[in-house]
Amino acid sequence: MTRLWTIACREYCSLFRIPLGWVVVALFLALSGAVFSGRGLQPGQPATMRPFFEIWWTLLVIVAPAISMRLFSDELRSGTIEPLLTAPVAEAVVVLGKYAAAVMFLITLLAPTVAYVALLEALSRPDYGPILAGYLGILLLGMLYLSVGCLASSLTSSQTLAFLGTFFALFLVEILALVAAPVAPPVVRSFLYALSVDQRMSDFARGLIDMKHVVFFLVASAWFLALASLALESRRWR
Amino acid sequence: MIVANRVSKWFGPVQAVSDLSFEVPSGQIVGLLGPNGAGKTTTMRMITGYLPPTQGNLTVCGHDTIAESIQARRSLGYLPESAPLYLEMRVVDYLHFRGRLYSLGRRDRTAAVKRVLERCWLTDVRRRRIGHLSKGYKQRVGLAGAMLHDPPVLILDEPTSGLDPAQIRETRGLIRELAHKRTVIVSSHILPEVEKTCDRVIIIARGRIRADGAPADLLARLRESSPYVVEVETSAAEIARQVLSRVSGVATVEIAQAGAGMGTTSPLSAGWARLTVTSTTGAIDLREPLAVAAAGAQLTVRELHRESPTLEQLFLQVIEADDARSP
């Protein structure tokens, strides 16, 4: 457990020792601030974070791969993976440590947006149910996307490939649900809808915390992380 | 300490290491030599447990590198080729990170970091970012990271590659010092280095062990076939050739003219010729009979010595023999 924390801390700190971390934080905050003030914070509008959350789901398809792309690819390219995996640490611990760092970074991105909630509170009386549920939804969605990115990153030493692979995989699932599902046979359609996060996210945005959705995100994340761990171990049988 | 038992490694259809067996006792420094692609790095990666052998097994301090991987890794310090490091970290932070990976407590860790910083002459740069350091310093940081948890076994893959001669010398001294009560396996291309540093040399080519032994023993075998060199005045060269040919035990005598020197000692000056004498049996020292014969013929001999073989010659001989075996 201490080793997991050690790896997570090193990874998290290293994100801020390179420009990538700061750039992602700055760009994201600028964009979400613009969306919030432009669409959410208007006279006569309900005091809700909904527009903010909606832009977030879309943004995560780009932001999550940007965070996760370097997790393993960077180490595979520079060779630092070798001293790391020859230390007495199991592969699964390395994967979980790095994943934890990525999730912590996502939380860091989200943390300043609590100021928006404070702003809403100052101006009117917001409904806290949908806000809390929305944050939880974003966190869960982010965890799923980051785990997909984690797997992609463990498969290649190229950060670009890891980013694009993750981005297109996430994008494709949503596009399929949007475009292919209405014309697909019922069996395929329900499968595509099940994979899509769109429906699940609008439930969260309405303030509905459905355990079905929570379990879906957690189990899917765990599944991708297990695959990433397996990918790291695969050098043993390749 | 380290036991390799009939280890083979295949990468798809390519066999990198084949049927490798050796045993390294505690406290020995072993030099692993071989041309590029001979299987040195693969062998080292298998010892560290980073790669599993396709066949056979390896143990480090009695622990199987795959079945008891974590225990085996605990007793290992590994410096991979070109010392990969987290460039954005500070030296001291990196070392603390390594210490935490090996579960060193805060007090032990602080002491260990201080110790390796001093040992590897890194105290002055401990607050610097690793990415800003020179190649030599990076190599030392890698070495410091490998020895931080005081492992009984050190695996160093090309620790001197890319260093300047002064740094190579420092690193050699450091490895010698580290080897005290430790088992060290070090691979290198710089043969004189290995000759000076290692107690034992293993030469591998095409994944097989071609020579294994103390450098002195291996060289003694080569010495038996090494030639004698006699330098006489050019005018007397032909007479000297005939005189020396008659000495019993001499196989051939060849005259190398001035300027076409053998290259091992000072180049020939004008007026002097060098004769290369080979013997039929290497075991007997022919220097005395040669000197007596030359004196008897009243030749002016400026130099008489037997070429001392170097590890480089041994290495090339082994590699050439290997090439001849499988074209």
| Segment A131-187, tens digit of pLDDT | 888 899 999 999 999 999 999 999 999 999 999 999 999 988 888 888 887 787 888
Of A82, A88, A238, which is closest to B102 when you measure between CB atoms? A88
The rounded distance, in Å, linking the Cα atoms of B112 and B109 is 5
The rounded distance, in Å, linking the Cα atoms of A5 and B211 is 46
**Which two tokens mark B249?**
């035990």
SS3 B209: strand
**Which two tokens mark B123?**
């105290």
Contact status of B102 with chain A (Cβ, < 8 Å): yes
**Residue B143 CB contacts under 8 Å (≥ 6 apart), including other chains:** B79, B83, B120, B156, B159, B171, B174
Q: Which of residues 66-85 of B touch A (CB under 8 A)?
A: 66, 70-71, 73-74, 76, 78-82, 84-85
Residue B76: list chain A partners with CB under 8 A. 86
Smallest Cα distance from A21 to chain B, Å: 13
Read off the amino acid at residue B245.
Answer: S
Q: Which of residues 145-184 of B touch A (CB under 8 A)?
A: 145-146
Which pLDDT band, with edges at 50, 70 and 90, does A233 fall under?
confident
Smallest Cα distance from B168 to chain A, Å: 22
Q: Is the pLDDT at A101 greater than 70, yes or no?
A: yes
A187-196 per-position pLDDT tens digit? 888 888 788 8
B219-254 per-position pLDDT tens digit? 877 777 778 888 888 777 888 888 888 888 888 888
The residue behind tokens 């290692």 is B198
A18-37 per-position pLDDT tens digit? 888 888 888 888 888 888 88
The residue behind tokens 């490091």 is B85
Give whole-number Cα distances, B237 to B86, B233, B249, B276, in Å.
64, 6, 20, 11
Of B74, B84, B103, which is closest to A82 when you measure between CB atoms? B84
Q: Are B86 and A80 an interchain contact pair (Cβ–Cβ within 8 Å)? A: yes
Cα B50 versus chain centre, distance = 23
Give whole-number Cα distances, A109 to A112, A153, B247, in Å.
7, 21, 89
Calculate what percentage of chain A has a pLDDT beyond 70.
96
Size of interface A-B (CB pairs under 8 A): 69
User: What's this model's pTM, rounded to 2 decimal places?
Assistant: 0.84
pLDDT for B136:
85
The rounded distance, in Å, linking the Cα atoms of B113 and B123 is 10
Q: Which chain B residue lies closest to A94 (C-alpha atoms)?
A: B101
Smallest Cα distance from B271 to chain A, Å: 58
pLDDT for A1:
77
pLDDT for A7:
94
- Per-residue pLDDT for chain B (327 aa), expressed as one digit of tens each? 899 999 999 888 888 898 899 999 988 899 998 888 888 899 999 999 899 999 999 999 999 998 898 999 999 999 998 889 999 999 999 999 999 999 999 999 999 999 999 988 899 999 999 999 988 889 889 999 999 998 999 999 988 877 788 888 888 888 888 777 789 999 987 777 788 788 899 988 888 888 888 888 888 777 777 788 888 887 778 888 888 888 888 888 888 765 444 444 455 566 778 888 888 876 678 888 888 888 888 888 888 888 877 777 788 877 787 777 765
From the CB of residue A198, how many other CB atoms can be counted at a distance below 10 Å? 13
B27: DSSP letter: T
pLDDT for B164:
82
ipTM (interface predicted TM): 0.87
Question: Comparing C-alpha atoms, which of A66, A53, A52 is closest to residue A15?
Answer: A66
**Residue B75 CB contacts under 8 Å (≥ 6 apart), including other chains:** B60, B61, B63, B151, B152, B153
Question: Comparing C-alpha atoms, which of A13, A197, A53, A57 is closest to residue B100?
Answer: A13
The rounded distance, in Å, linking the Cα atoms of B218 and B310 is 10
Let me know how many helices (H) and strands (E) chain B has, helices first: 11, 14
A3-15 per-position pLDDT tens digit? 899 999 999 998 8
The rounded distance, in Å, linking the Cα atoms of A201 and A137 is 6
Q: Are B146 and A2 an interchain contact pair (Cβ–Cβ within 8 Å)? A: no
Let me know how many helices (H) and strands (E) chain A has, helices first: 12, 0
**Which two tokens mark A209?**
């915390």
Question: Comparing C-alpha atoms, which of A144, A11, A3 is closest to residue A72?
Answer: A11
pLDDT for B260:
46
The rounded distance, in Å, linking the Cα atoms of A141 and A38 is 24
Average pLDDT value for residue range A70-75: 93
Taking a C-beta distance cutoff of 8 angstroms, is the pair B282, B225 a contact?
A: yes
Q: Are B103 and A235 an interchain contact pair (Cβ–Cβ within 8 Å)? A: no
Q: Are B101 and A87 an interchain contact pair (Cβ–Cβ within 8 Å)? A: yes
pLDDT for A124:
79
Of A18, A82, A84, which is closest to B88 when you measure between CB atoms? A18
> Judging by beta carbons within 10 Å of its beta carbon (0-12, 13-18, 19+), is residue A77 exposed, middle or buried?
middle
Q: Are A14 and B145 an interchain contact pair (Cβ–Cβ within 8 Å)? A: no
Q: Between residues A52 and B30, which one has the greater pLDDT?
A: B30
Segment holding B107, helix H or strand E: helix B106-119
